[in-house]
Structure 1
Amino acid sequence: MRFINKIFQPEQPFTPMNFTRRPVLHLFWAGGVVAMVLGFSIGFLLWMAQTGFLDIIDDYQTLKLWHARIQIIGFTGSFLLGFALQAGPHVLGGHPPPFVSSVSIIPALWLGLVLGEFQSSFISVIGNLLISLAFLHPSYLLLKISLEGDPQWRFSRGIPMAGGFLLMASSPWLDLVDPEKALFILWCGPITIAMVAGQQLINNVIKGGKIVGKSGLAFLALLTTAWLTTALATFTQILPWNIAGIEWLLVLAMLAWKTNLFPALTKFGFAAISLTLFLGFIGMIVAASVMAIGNDVMPVDAVVHILGAGVTTVLIIGVVSRVVGFFSGGAVLSDLAVSVTLLIWSAIATLRAATTVSGVLSLTASVIGGILLVVWGTRVAWRLYEIGRRPYQDNSA
């Protein structure tokens, strides 16, 4: 009983934040939790069918499309939007957008996801337009914040973050069942945005370095080249995927170098947030390295799951656990429990990326992963409810 209490009632003080404006992240992240349950449930079902534990499901391709759209747009998109519109002004050194302008994105995103699945081409087009709007609007808001905010963050954070959401606006129009198109969106959207959020965490939490001045401009140039080479490899085949992989390795190398990532991690020591950054960065390196070497090492679909089931999910679990703790004044789980969750989930994501896994192993991993996500998601949902109950100073429109 004492062990259970340490997990769910950890002696881990979080001083509740004094809100200087009405928070928005809990409204976005509540939808992210719902999408997580839906997306991973379908994903585990598809995995067991793929490994032979279940017979091939009727409408298998339709379920694959739903899984991809829910995971990339609903799950990852909701958590990224919540972080960007809550912390973006602080990350970019600018003024926050009005509350109504931010939360108006939520119904557009979810209505778009629902309408986008209709058989009617007209209704699905309306749905896709709403999803695009849900990413274009924050792209504009973040670019405006960046241009009016601290210029030292403009090239390393502001433009990359706005660009990441701009590229995510193309996601509803792409066949995300095609692993190459899913890989394009993951690298140029969520992973790019994660690199911006990661800079803030590396600098503020583990006391690493900053990417500013000419280094910021060089980082943006490398990132833009990586976007371009990935797009050319995806849509034209003018360039091979190897070149795109090398470009992403260069981006990651500069990010690690200029932020002193690994020395900072070593000095900070073992904790859930440092483990989150380490696992996320290593996952990006593995994915980019596989691309650089070639598809003979691992199929593109496996790289998609390294980034999707692995990197983005690990980053969401680790960062959300920390941020929700500070915003609500109470921990989601103990730091050790979050760390164990991250390690187990990383192992499950690695199995999912593997090309040969038995049906029994896929079932076992699915059950364990499902339990982990249900426990974590339930705790997050409760803390998000607590955030919504806390008082705030309404200094925004």
Structure 2
Amino acid sequence: MLYDVARVRAQYPALADGRAWLDGAAGTQVPEPVIAAMAGVMRGGVANQGGVFPAARRADAIVDEARRALADLVNAPDPDGVVLGPSMSALTYRFVGALGPTWRPGDEVVVTEADHDSNVRPWVQAAARAGATVRMARLDAATGSLPTEHVTGLLSDRTRVVAVTAASNLTGACPDIPAIAAAARRVGALSVVDGVHHCPHVPVDVTALGADLYLTSAHKWAGPHLGAVVAADPAVLAGIDPQRPAPAPPTGPARFEQGTNPFPALAGVVAAVEHWADLAEAGGDRRARLAVTRVTAADHGRALGERLWAGLGGMAHVRRYGPDADRTPIASFRVAGVGPAEVVAALDRAGVNAWAGHAYAWEAARALGVRDDGGLVRLSVNHYSQRWEVDRALEVVAACR
């Protein structure tokens, strides 16, 4: 199916500045429909949930539709399995706060070197409070990948949680989540999968992944800053008892959502999911359209990512970090004799948005030996990226000596 990236890109006002926006792994820009949806809520008036008057009923409808949209995006079977929150990090701490007090000395928690630290540190801190044991799954330092057996080999009947990323935000490596989640289930452990970097690039089916809890952040896929935890089965949520005010709902996903929901942002999430469903021509309801457009957009990003990866691989003065296969379309690298911050400055002068550092992949950066001397340069493409952006970045890196 033809993917008209020029049509897609034209919907993003921020992208009209002529720069190459290769910073999507840190957060994407938003299209006009998302901006309009958020402004529309504020213009039209909205109140807190639970009232009988129109503004309150609008708030109820926005929250319900946000749950349905997120369930559609990741092909979750039930919107009642969707928990909303300000960010992936905040939601992780919320779930840690509920699960950690149930652990006892001798219980075990498995985390990985591949993960963003917000899916490592909260579990480590909770284990320390409970006297539980932390087991760290190691990267393959040569490739930046996370071999399945490095995770599954740590599991035992005392494992309570396996926290693992579906895609490294530093190397792009995609672990075998179905295999890891199945192994966790066999020992009775809860699998908590960070999909923040995964969701923008890979068509997601949480049931096929096997993850008990899958986390995503809308600002990584053209939405506002808002996170969600999606359970493949709402019964998983029912077995977790979070701290909450006495009048808060005793059941359902709302009991995890502390305080008033950000209604304009939730309307923006719905608009962002609709935007994804309209990225290419497809028929049917929103979920059916997403099943087509997500694959089409992923193919576009993969082709550009391969061009970027191969281009850097052809430069003798560049060292790439990450596997050649089973990866998202990002490229993390270093230039011989030139610090990452200097490379990013050169890219900026040429009109290329890029990042340098550890990207909060704290353990991965240490394992790769780059955490303490500037980290890595990271370039990332996504559904609105174009070939000229990749080529401009490659020209700058080729000239860095």
TM-score of the two chains, using structure 2 as the length reference: 0.26
Hey, which of these two has a bigger chunk of strand by percent?
2
TM-score of the two chains, using structure 1 as the length reference: 0.26
Hey, which of these two has a bigger chunk of helix by percent?
1
